[in-house]
Amino acid sequence: MVLTNYLLFFFPMKKTKQNKINPKKLVINPSLRFILLSIFIISILVFISSLNFIQQFLTAFTALSLHSILNALGISVRLVEPIVLQLVHGSQMKFSIIPDCTGIYPAVVLCGFIFAFPANSRKKTLGIFGAIAASFVMNYLRLVSLIALAQVSVRTFEIAHLIIWQSSFIILVIAYFLWWLRWK
C-alpha cells in the first residue's frame, strides 16, 4: 500500500476503469525483497571494506593482535613486516595477512542478512553486534589453530586452510543467522 501511495504521489494518474492500480500487484514478494535488499546492503558493506585505508588498518590490526595472542599462548612468532608473521621454531613458515584473514567478510554477510530481514531494531542491533563478535572470535580461533598446525606440518596446514576453515565460516554464517531468527 505504501509503495502504491508513493507511486501515485510521484506519478499521479486519472483513476479510470482501465488504468486503476491494483495495490496487491505492486507488493514485492518478501523473499525477493530479502534477496535483493541483502545483496544491496552486502555490496555497500563490501565496497566500504574494500577501501584501501580500511583494509590496511584491518590487516595491520589483525597481524599485531595475532602476534600478541600467539606469543601469549606460547607459539613463538615474529612480526617481520606490518602484515607478515613468521614462525620462530619448526617450519619457520611466513604468513601474510590479507583482507580475507581479518574475519570482516563473514561479519559483512551476517550484517547484510540481519539488516535485510524484517525484525525490530533492538533485535537487529544486538544481532549485528553479536555477528561481528562471533565472526572475529571465530577468525582468531582459525588463525591461531592454523599457525599452530603449520608449526607441526605444512601439509596439514594447507588442508585445514583450504577445507576445514573455509567451510566453518559457511557453517558459522548459516548457524548464527538461523539462531538469530529464532532468538527473541
Partner 1 sequence: MEIIRRLSFGFLLRFIVWFLLFLALWSLVSSSYSWFKMQTLQQILSWIYPTQTPFIRNPGFLQGFAISELTLLSLIFARWNKVDLSSIKKYPWTKVLGCIAILFIINIASQLMEVISQRSSTFFLNYAVTWLLSVGVIVLPFLCWVWLESTLKPA
Binding site for partner 1 (CB under 8 A): 29-32, 34-35, 38-39, 42-43, 46-47, 50, 99-100, 105-106, 108-109, 112-113, 118, 162-163, 166-167, 169-171, 173-175, 178, 181-182
| In 73-103, alpha helices (H) | none
Burial bucket for residue 2 (CB in 10 Å: 0-12, 13-18, 19+): exposed
If you search the block for the grid coordinates 514485492, which residue do you land on?
Answer: 28
Choose between 40 and 61: whose C-beta lies nearer to partner 1. 40
Q: Which of 77/117 has CB closer to partner 1?
A: 117
Choice between 152 and 170, CB closer to partner 1: 170
Question: In this structure, what C-alpha cell is assigned to residue 46?
Answer: 563490501
CB of 158 to partner 1, least distance (A): 8
Q: Which is closer to partner 1, CB of 70 or CB of 173?
A: 173
In whole angstroms, the minimum distance from the beta carbon of 120 to partner 1 comes to 15
Q: Alpha carbon 141 to chain centroid distance?
A: 16
CA proximity to 138, closest of 112, 174, 94? 174
